[in-house]
Structure 1
Amino acid sequence: MENPKLRPLEIIPFYKEGKRHFLLRDRLGIAKEVVLSEKAFLIASFFNGENDLRSIQMEFMRRYGELLFLDELERLVKFLDDCFLLETERFKKRYEELLEEWEKTPIREPAFQSLAYPEKEDALKEFLWGFLKDQPEEIPSTIRGIIAPHIDLYRGGSCYGSVYGVLRKLRPPKLVVIFGTSHLPMKGPFAFIDKDFSTPFGLLKTNQEILNQLREILPYDPLEESFLHSKEHTIEFQLLFLQLVWNGDFEIIPVLCRSFELYLQGQDPEEDKAYILTLRSIKDFIQGKEALVVASADLAHIGPQFGDPFLIDYEMLLRLKIRDEEMLSFIERGDSRGFLDYIRNEGDRRRICGLPPIYATLKVLEPFRGKLIDYGQWRDPQGYGSVSFAGMILF
């Protein structure tokens, strides 16, 4: 392979026994997680599809003053290819095989049981109940939507428990729309799915009526990128809590949201016909129905793990909390545009990955008001990264 190219991957730096390593994670779930030494990662960083092996050797020598032997380079290329981490014909064939398998199955099976939460129903129920909190005072009698984290349950469980603790005493709706962040690139503004979802608590039916309507009126196929749901956690984690508090007596509309990169660069989402038509259609569909809209959304992502040149200390976390609460105050006031503009004006330098599902939720529920129920932050012990998240109710 003369010009190796690394696939888009999640890269997480960490230290082990005093040495820096890098975890490579495939969001598509095709490849298993791989750990590279710092040297191997630096070599792999040249795998952009343009550099041939000879130029990689020369560039490595120029930057690091160390000889890179051809057999060492070729071994790394073969290892990454064997792991399906390079864009090769081998990977494309495997990807097409998985797509065919996906099209044949009527059910989206749980992707994270035993990895992110207990596999058995009883153990899972005990695990989740441990996070649920009592309902705060002064809660509106009608709740039309929530914003909940999608960070892993071990780090964000308390915040999940705060917002879902509010729901457990309410009557279950007939329909739950869940907007979630897609952690992979998307072509269309939204990716729907026509499969029912299985969890350790049982099967949740996906509403087919709205999907049939959307396929008739939208200028894109809402199911074209349904495969992105197969290994995405952002919907799955919400379903667990929804089934816990309401026993699954409702249908769902799971929706993954494309990155807001285009809209943060100047294009107005209100002028994107495909985007706004999708949201108006969902808004019209749930009008008059007993429905809840969920935004599965984390907030800021800062630190070297996410591309910043600085470590995260506790003073920085305090400043982050102030900025987050200032941003969320627009939601409390019912100002979806103010929320978006706040993030645009700061250049999204805090990387609010939950912006797409939150904004979609707010547009579907307009007019609305919000209330902050809980706020949390996770910080890497060595300061290499931090993620913030919140629980809110919308009414």
Structure 2
Amino acid sequence: MDYPRARHDLEFIPIDHEGRQMILVRDRLGLVPYGTGVPRGLLPVLALMDGLRSLGDLAREVTALQGGRRVTPEDIAPVLAELDAAGLLDTARYREAKAAAAAAFAANPVRAAVFAGPAYPDSPQLLGPYLDAILALAPGEPAPPAGAKLLGLIAPHIDPESGKAAYAAAYAPLRGLSPARVVVLGVGHQIINGLYSLTDKAYATPLGEVASDAAAVAKLRRAGGAVVDPSDLQHRDEHSVEFQAVFLRHVLGGETPFSLVPVLCGSPAGALAEPSRRAFLEAAGPFLAALRELAAAPDTLVVAGVDFCHIGPKFGHDKPADLLEEAATAHDAALLDALSRGDAEAFWAESARVGDGYNVCGLTALATLAEILPPARLTVLCRDIMREKETASAVTFAAAAYTAR
């Protein structure tokens, strides 16, 4: 392990455990046991393990981090062995486990409803009334203009219980509609290779399966080339499309079935030469053109299942969310304003203005939406925030509708 590399598909969540500041490790692949915590001081060391620094480089930089207390490569080697055993490093052990998980997932034609039970009722007898109760919260105003053709939606992907008002505002306008195809732009929190991840698996829900449009998925995969991750494993434990599939199956699941095109959108960091619209179009142009063609079909609806700002210590800030909330919600408003004006350049410029300092996980999905829909009117239906007291953190989200001008 001469050039150690930490895994880049883990989530690190600050917690207070019996008065000690710890970091909870969340591994969607399941190699790191649930509930594993690591010392806070380990994160800067893991950040240095990028596969480019040698053991000698690491020893020098960790020495500097510790204020000059000398660390040698020999000191680091046993630590690396422990980190590998804990599943925190990108090694042969990790890659073999990931390949096995990918093969098992690929063998199943259906993507299971992973969050049924923990996030929403897992039986149709309970889920239907639960969703109806949420939809009943939809406000009368503001709403999409009466009679206007609905082209797309922005909905949250936070858990349905926390996002009731926004889910209601987003999905109530779908009542009575019968699109043949729904393209869902979710957030691929674990995408490493490329900018998008596709699957042609049916999405299971307690209300019944939602079939994928396999032909459309294949067309997108061909158009996307290297910008699409060759694996669809990211869909296995990702909630952003699953929550949309559940609401769509409930609202649209009448006699006329619809098919799903599930698209996970990853972070532009590392996937683009720079965080700009120009770089985005250069990298994803053919993929966006194929998506645009799908979205232009009269029987197709596009849904972006996204959250906006993630603020507070849980998301890497050194301040509690209440001190960042005003600036973060103003950032949300600026992004939505740019989208409402159809100004994709302004959208990217607003993100660049803050250096994506508020962790807008839906950035790529929203940027994709802005490129594939025709000129449209955007009506913001709801804006909300989920505050998590125990971590002094918060997540903002919204609902909005695109209608033909």
Query: Offset at 1:77?
Result: 5.9
Q: Retained in 1: the 8 A contact 2:14–2:22?
A: yes
Structure 2 unmatched ranges of 5 or more: none
Q: 1:308-333 CA deviation, whole Å, 9 max, x = no partner? A: 222222x6423432332233122223
Structure 1 unmatched ranges of 5 or more: none
Aligned to 1:306: 315
Percent identity, please.
28
Query: Offset at 1:207?
Result: 0.6
Query: Offset at 1:203?
Result: 0.9
Of 230, 236, 239, 2:236 maps to: 230
Is residue 2:211 matched to residue 1:208? Answer: no
Q: Retained in 2: the 8 A contact 1:3–1:47?
A: no
Of 378, 381, 394, 2:386 maps to: 378
Q: Map 1:65-104 onto structure 2 (within 5 A).
A: 80-104=83-107
1:352 alignment partner AA: V
1:143 alignment partner AA: L
Aligned to 1:340: 348
Q: 1:217-251 CA deviation, whole Å, 9 max, x = no partner? A: 55448571322211211111111111121126210
Is residue 2:144 matched to residue 1:139? Answer: yes
Q: 1:330-351 CA deviation, whole Å, 9 max, x = no partner? A: 2223333322222223322222
Q: Retained in 2: the 8 A contact 1:164–1:241?
A: yes
- Compared with structure 1, are the counterparts of its residues 46 and 284 closer, same or farther at alpha carbon in structure 2 (3 Å cutoff)? closer
Q: Map 1:231-270 onto structure 2 (within 5 A).
A: 231-247=237-253, 249-261=257-269, 262=272, 264-266=274-276, 268-269=278-279
Q: Please, what TM-score do these two structures have when normalized by structure 1?
A: 0.85
Query: Offset at 1:30?
Result: 4.4
Aligned residues: 390
Query: Aligned equivalents of 2:208 and 2:89: distance in 1?
Result: 37
Query: Aligned equivalents of 1:284 and 1:34: distance in 2?
Result: 45
> C-alpha root-mean-square deviation of aligned residues, in Å?
3.4
2:236 alignment partner AA: S
Aligned to 1:326: 334
- Comparing 237-246 with 158-167, which one deviates more in the overlay? 158-167
Query: Aligned equivalents of 1:43 and 1:305: distance in 2?
Result: 15
Aligned to 1:191: 197
Of 367, 381, 392, 1:359 maps to: 367
- Compared with structure 1, are the counterparts of its residues 361 and 382 closer, same or farther at alpha carbon in structure 2 (3 Å cutoff)? same
Of 113, 117, 132, 1:114 maps to: 117
Q: Please, what TM-score do these two structures have when normalized by structure 2?
A: 0.83
Q: Retained in 2: the 8 A contact 1:264–1:347?
A: no
Query: Offset at 1:98?
Result: 1.5
Q: Map 1:381-392 onto structure 2 (within 5 A).
A: 381-382=389-390, 384-392=392-400
Query: Aligned equivalents of 2:24 and 2:218: distance in 1?
Result: 41
Query: Offset at 1:29?
Result: 4.3
- Compared with structure 1, are the counterparts of its residues 281 and 266 closer, same or farther at alpha carbon in structure 2 (3 Å cutoff)? closer
Query: Aligned equivalents of 1:263 and 1:218: distance in 2?
Result: 17
Query: Aligned equivalents of 2:40 and 2:311: distance in 1?
Result: 24
Query: Offset at 1:47?
Result: 7.7
Aligned to 2:185: 179
Q: Retained in 1: the 8 A contact 2:152–2:301?
A: yes
Query: Offset at 1:59?
Result: 4.0
Aligned to 1:156: 163
Query: Aligned equivalents of 1:212 and 1:7: distance in 2?
Result: 29
